[in-house]
Amino acid sequence: MDFETRWLEDFLALASTQSFSKAAERRHVTQPAFSRRIKSLEETVGVQLVDRSRTPIQLTAEGQIFFDHSAQHRQPTA
């Protein structure tokens, strides 16, 4: 699995803000680039993590499991 740590941080920011634009701003990237990174994460893990049809966005059932697991295993930044 080709996984980038920044994708995990992106996903956690998205889950926290429930907004692609707010999460992108928090992560200091453009919204289109941020969306591509989340899509890359979803393709890498093989499931849809975010329900994009709702505003604010919501995690899918798989996204919630991924979030719970990711938050538990997140390494603190120095």
Closest CA to 41 of 15, 78, 21, 72: 15
- Residue 60: the pLDDT is 98
R_g of the chain computed on alpha carbons: 12
Provide the terminal-to-terminal Cα distance of the chain, rounded to the nearest Å: 25
- Residue 2: the pLDDT is 58
- Residue 4: the pLDDT is 81
Residue ranges, the chain, pLDDT below 70: 1-2, 74-78
CA distances from 21 to 32, 55, 64, 75 (A): 9, 12, 20, 25
- Residue 78: the pLDDT is 46
- Residue 18: the pLDDT is 97
Type of residue at 35 = S
